[in-house]
Homo-oligomer: A and B are copies of this chain.
Amino acid sequence: MAKHKTPLLDQLESGPWPSFVSDMKQLAEERAKNPQKIEFQIPVDVVDDLLGLLELSYKDGATHWKHGGIVGVFGYGGGVIGRYCDQPEQFSGVAHFHTMRINQPGGKFYTTDYLRKLCDLWDLRGSGVTNMHGSTGDIIFLGTRTEQLEEIFFELTHKYNQDLGGSGSNLRTPADCIGAARCEWACYDTQDLCYQMTNDYQDELHRPAFPYKFKFKFDGCPNCCVASIARSDLSFIGTWRDDIRIDQEAVQGYIGGELKPNAGGHSGRDWGKFDIHKEVIKLCPTECMWMEGKKLMIDNKECNRCMHCINVMPRALHIGNDRGLSILAGAKAPILDGAQMGSLLVPFIKAEAPYEEIKDVIEKVWDWWMEEGKNRERLGELMKRQGLQKLLEVTGITPDARHVKEPRSNPYIFWKEEEVEGGWTRDVNEFRKHHQR
């Protein structure tokens, strides 16, 4: 029977959606019973106390966690988030309750064998509570004591060939969409690029040398299934620069009704017979599609690769063959100056191992940011402060109309002296000969 009464939390056990309360309760019981006779390295009742503390927060309408303080593993600047409870007497099991960020595998694919190993480790040395996964992408080990941090790290690296993820003013754990592994729209191998960048930049990930956090995310196409454009300082989004491949027979299949629009993703309602004009041609943002008799035509030069038509008719339309990715820079959450989406930095770049070209861009961006960025200034904030022009200059990318949604509407151009005929040094007395005071 439970250590603490949790009348409020108990109300979260009903209802269809999986209840984290029920789950935590079953773990609490399991630890109490301890059928496997595990030599728990942190208090056996850690989960009971976690539930008790959370219940208290539900009563008080406020958190009971304090600031972290500097805890971590030797030589790493990140991977651990320190946490202490503000009621240690009442809830000694969670007096320390640090989280560890475990760098997830690409595409978040697992073997059960590996998952079980992680569970064994975490039952022994931690609370047994996790997040699968954290918002950035890591496996989150939620709650252990300081003295276990090194032990866990040692086992991870020695037994499981597994490293920690990022936190602090580091490169954060990169994340990818499932992409080529199971998606027909991947314009490059997101898992491979993500893996290579993670490994090539281990030093940046583990040892804080940056003004603030820095995030990479890898989306295989503009659908952005890992939301890179909204939450990574550098977003790598797949695209192509040749033509959408059309299977005219399949087009007829959709028109005829044999094939379900959007792969059947709208099955919950009768939207009526598929109308290619209404559902595809008219919704194309560039108006670059039309029917020529029974033939669907696309003026690919005008297509901006928004994916809509392909999303609607996956069997008829396929991404082009000349593939690569666009790099966007500066996305971040609102604090402090307001949220930013990534701004287009590289319209198109090939994505082939060993990705030297891409790394060249990354490193030039870092050089600038590390040089100019203030403490706790994200790349996007520096871009706002010094301008996209500046970023293009330092990365040696030729400014192009594609970099802007629209040209500036203010004429306040900061001309450089070398751009102005005759330079800036003038003799006022010479001027005064023609213009009296």
Q: Indicate if the CB atoms of B86 and A435 lie closer than 8 Å.
A: yes
Residues of B contacting A437 in the complex (Cβ-Cβ under 8 angstroms):
66, 86
Docked Cα-Cα span, A233 to B338, in Å, equals 28
Docked Cα-Cα span, A412 to B334, in Å, equals 9
Residues of B contacting A87 in the complex (Cβ-Cβ under 8 angstroms):
436
> A62 at the A/B interface (Cβ < 8 Å)?
yes
Q: Indicate if the CB atoms of B62 and A410 lie closer than 8 Å.
A: no
Residues of B contacting A11 in the complex (Cβ-Cβ under 8 angstroms):
none
A201 to chain B, nearest CB (A): 31
A277 to chain B, nearest CB (A): 13
Q: Indicate if the CB atoms of A436 and B339 lie closer than 8 Å.
A: no
Docked Cα-Cα span, A273 to B88, in Å, equals 83
Contact with B along A48-62 (1 / 0, CB 8 A): 000000000000101
Chain A residues touching B, majority SS: loop
Q: Indicate if the CB atoms of A434 and B60 lie closer than 8 Å.
A: yes
Copies in the complex: 2
Residues of B contacting A436 in the complex (Cβ-Cβ under 8 angstroms):
66, 86-88
Q: Which residue of B lies closest to A60 (CB)?
A: B434
> A64 at the A/B interface (Cβ < 8 Å)?
yes
Q: State which of B66, B334, B411 has its C-beta within 8 Å of the C-beta of A411.
A: B334
Contact with B along A318-349 (1 / 0, CB 8 A): 00000000000000001000110000000000
Residues of B contacting A334 in the complex (Cβ-Cβ under 8 angstroms):
409-412
Q: Which residue of B lies closest to A65 (CB)?
A: B435
Docked Cα-Cα span, A412 to B337, in Å, equals 10
Docked Cα-Cα span, A165 to B382, in Å, equals 47
Q: Which residue of B lies closest to A63 (CB)?
A: B435
Q: State which of B64, B338, B411 has its C-beta within 8 Å of the C-beta of A435.
A: B64
A437 to chain B, nearest CB (A): 8
Q: Indicate if the CB atoms of B409 and A338 lie closer than 8 Å.
A: yes
Residues of B contacting A60 in the complex (Cβ-Cβ under 8 angstroms):
434
Residues A435 and B339 in contact in the complex (CB < 8 Å), given A334-B410, A410-B334? no
Residues of B contacting A411 in the complex (Cβ-Cβ under 8 angstroms):
334
Q: Indicate if the CB atoms of B338 and A410 lie closer than 8 Å.
A: yes
A67 to chain B, nearest CB (A): 10
Q: Which residue of B lies closest to A337 (CB)?
A: B410
Docked Cα-Cα span, A62 to B409, in Å, equals 26
Docked Cα-Cα span, A60 to B87, in Å, equals 81
Contact with B along A31-74 (1 / 0, CB 8 A): 00000000000000000000000000000101010100000000
Q: Which residue of B lies closest to A64 (CB)?
A: B435
Q: Indicate if the CB atoms of A62 and B435 lie closer than 8 Å.
A: yes
Docked Cα-Cα span, A87 to B215, in Å, equals 63
Residues on A lying within 8 angstroms of B by beta carbon are 60, 62, 64, 66, 86-88, 334, 338-339, 409-412, 434-437
CB pairs A–B below 8 angstroms (10 shown): A62-B435, A64-B434, A66-B437, A86-B435, A86-B437, A87-B436, A334-B409, A334-B410, A334-B411, A338-B409
